[in-house]
Amino acid sequence: MIKYRLICKDCETIFDSWFSSSKEYERLKKKNFVNCHICNSLSVEKTLMSPNVFMSKNVPKINSQIKKYTKTKKVILDYQQFIKKNFDYVGENFAYEARSLHYKNKKASKGIYGTTTKEDLKELKEEGIEAETMPWIKDNTN
């Protein structure tokens, strides 16, 4: 079994779905059997399996911009470029780096981005560390 994080391009809902294999996913996708759980749209795409997150002093501002601009895939890709340019990539160490930024009060000029698990994200939130998830599309998908 393989879990894919899917995003609906119409209502922007992100949800997880299980498939027996990646081939099975491709097969169902071709037959238009992969649809949004919320609005039934077929404009559903795979995202990375872990939520992509970022944090910076300007998170609320940036987040509202992302929400405004993630209507289309092209804009998401543009925004990924923005994040890549302006944020330091910390990969799967996101939770660790976020805590380090938060507790040491590091004066980071840049924010950070990476991936983390839903559990870590929940813990960060409970510790008062603001991190935001965003849709993320692999560069090599078309």
Can you tell me the distance from the alpha carbon of 79 to that of 99, in angstroms, rounded to the nearest whole number? 24
Q: Which DSSP string do the residues of 5-55 spell out, in sequence order?
A: EEEETTT--EEEEEES-HHHHHHHHHTT----TTT--S-EEEE-SSPEEEE
Q: Could you tell me which stretch among 3-11, 74-82, 92-100, 124-132 binds Zn ion (CB under 5 A)?
A: 3-11
**Segment near Zn ion (CB under 5 A), from 5-13, 59-67, 109-117, 133-141?**
5-13
95: left (phi over 0), alpha (psi -120 to 50) or beta: alpha
Which is nearer to Zn ion, 39 or 48 (by Cβ)?
39
Shortest Cβ 39–Zn ion spacing (Å): 3
DSSP H or E run through 83: helix 73-86
- Decide: is 41 part of the binding site for Zn ion (CB under 5 A): yes
- 42 touches Zn ion (CB under 5 A): no
Min dist CB 7 to Zn ion, Å, is: 9
Specify the 3-state DSSP secondary structure of 82. helix
Nearer CB in complex with Zn ion: 33/103: 33
Stretch that binds Zn ion, among 7-15, 59-67, 68-76, 106-114 (CB under 5 A): 7-15
User: For residue 46, how many C-alpha atoms fall within 13 Å in the half-sphere facing its CB?
Assistant: 17
Residues of this chain that interact with Zn ion (CB under 5 A) are: 8, 10-11, 13, 36, 38-39, 41
